[in-house]
Amino acid sequence: MGKLFGTDGVRGVANTELTPELAFDLGRVGGYVLTRETHHAPKVLIATDSRQSGDMLAAALTAGLCSIGATVYHAGVMPTPAVAHLVRKYNLDAGAMISASHNKMADNGIKFFNNEGFKLPDVLEDEIEALIEKNRAEGDELPRPIGTEVGTVGKSDQAEADYTGFLLSTVKDLRLDGIKIAIDCANGATSYIAPQIFKQLGAELITLHNAPNGQNINDNCGSTHMESLQKCVKEQKADIGIAFDGDGDRMLAICEKGEFIDGDAIMAICALDLNERGKLEKNTVVATVMSNQGFECFCRDNKINMYRADVGDRYVLEKMLSDGYCLGGEQSGHVIFLEHSTTGDGILTALQLLAVLARKKQSLSALAGVIETFPQVLVNATVPNARKPELATNAEIQKAQAEIETALEGEGRILVRPSGTEPVVRVMLEGRDKDKIDGFAKNLASVIEKNLNF
């Protein structure tokens, strides 16, 4: 069995890689590992995004959980951060989200949250994986309750209302009257909740891609395909465009001029606002190795400390928790406001950004002007997951990378990393000459595919 857990749970093509059998095993073993210390019948919340395969995997995961005696509550289609919040609010033992986030519709995934609403650390995921492998090889010896102790299934009828109430509580005095907002829900998990919230706050709302049918999630829409939102903002003269991903844990924006505003810029705007109000804990923001050099310059110029974590919002969160920081995130739009949430939350991030716009009475383009973004190129090389470990040892790849680093002459940087969620290796270059780094990135991606994709 290959490694199951990536940087954000278990993902794969639904029904071939992420099968109902695997979902059952994850429910059975994951439920046992997460709740073995409770000494009572565990209670677990499950939600899905809008993918067609969600029901199939939820049923299998539920069966696995019930087989160890768990009571399972289904919240229906909800954003990932809703699970993190509701597990804490309802005092449950664990939560599970069935989603492949921004991936294509055919993919799906399962990620767990513990009783405090945090994603699992590597050591716990490794334990779950090892126990699944052991059970398959040697036989399953986990508890199998019978009779009245077999787990049951219920529905969480208040989930949507409770999550909506929580989000609104983070911006108690915010009103959006007179502000024209375009939102792109990616035909995903925010499709029902996000429009309600912005309308309730008084915004003039234009809503795109909020009609999920099980098959259209992330289909040329959402935070990975923002062209239609950009066009809408320009044509409708909106003040801001907001794009969510399929499971609602990230957001990116379009300013009133039609320009893209990424996670680095959003963090810069929010960090400066928090710092000015004396609420930026230890005067520090946690970013990742993917954050632009321009964000580093912004932090230095504004006397804000910056720490770079590994890619993945879980690693950003680990640093925030260990050192007591309140703001962190990724260029891709995962932003964590630890005062309010234990994970990235797209709607929450949008509300915090809008609150800054309202307080400062400035346009988004003016606020985003605090950061100068260096040209950056990201190219994906298709590489089977099993061959990713060769990336660090292949002589031809290492030579090509070294030649690019020499050519950059200190005027840029290069980052090559295997994706934890897709069968690709990401090649990222930054530098002052956009055309030059674009050529370097494409060349290196080609070398990687030539050596590892055959």
| Polymer length of the chain | 454
Measure the CA–CA gap between 156 and 75, rounded to whole angstroms. Answer: 5
Q: Are 73 and 46 in contact (CB under 8 A)?
A: yes
Catalytic residue of the set 50, 53, 101, 223? 101
Q: Are 365 and 190 in contact (CB under 8 A)?
A: no
Q: What type of residue sits at position 68? A: I
Half-sphere exposure (Cβ direction) of 205: Cα atoms closer than 13 Å? 18
- HEC profile for the chain? CCCCEECCEEEEEECCCECHHHHHHHHHHHHHHHHCCCCCCCEEEEEECCCCCHHHHHHHHHHHHHCCCCEEEEEEECCHHHHHHHHHHCCCCEEEEECCCCCCCCEEEEEEECCCCCECCHHHHHHHHHHHHHHHHHCCCCCCCCHHHCCCEEECCCHHHHHHHHHHHCCCCCCCCCCEEEEECCCCCCCCHHHHHHHHCCCEEEEECCCCCCCCCCCCCHHHCCHHHHHHHHHHCCCEEEEECCCCCCEEEEECCCCEECHHHHHHHHHHHHHHCCCCHHHEEEEECCCCHHHHHHHHHCCCEEEEECCCHHHHHHHHHHHCCCEEECCCCCEEECCCCCCCCHHHHHHHHHHHHHHHCCCHHHHHCCCCCCCEEEEEEECCHHHHHHHHCCHHHHHHHHHHHHHHCCCEEEEEEECCCCCEEEEEEEECCHHHHHHHHHHHHHHHHHHHCC
Q: Are 21 and 60 in contact (CB under 8 A)?
A: yes
Q: Are 95 and 87 in contact (CB under 8 A)?
A: yes
Measure the CA–CA gap between 257 and 444, rounded to whole angstroms. Answer: 34
**191 is an active site residue:** no
Residues carrying an active site annotation: 101
